[in-house]
Amino acid sequence: MYSKRRARIADEILSGHMKKDIWGRLYGQLVYKQKKTAITPEMLASLQYALEMRGLVSRVEANARNYYLRILASDRAPARDNYILHVFLLLLT
């Protein structure tokens, strides 16, 4: 599932350049598409860089007619440090 925060940031950056793909929304993924004739690869790379600067990781896929920009789930909770558990296990052994 995509979060509202990621969707809002992606909409701010990609508005006017790409539109949301309806099939991606049905599966809970944030996917944007644009025809290859309407956008250049350089523009696509600059949009991807702008997304990266705002903390979103994206992947570009292409078929014969369209470019698809998929926003990946990158904001996972960081792993906790388990120092107390490690000390306890050390003392236990």
Query: What domains sit in the chain, N to C, each tagged with a CATH number?
Result: 4-72 (3.10.28.10)
Burial of 26 (0-12, 13-18, 19+ CB in 10 A): exposed
Tens digits of per-residue pLDDT, 34-70?
Answer: 999 999 999 999 999 999 999 898 999 999 999 999 9
Tens digits of per-residue pLDDT, 2-44?
Answer: 578 888 999 999 998 999 988 877 777 899 999 999 999 999 9
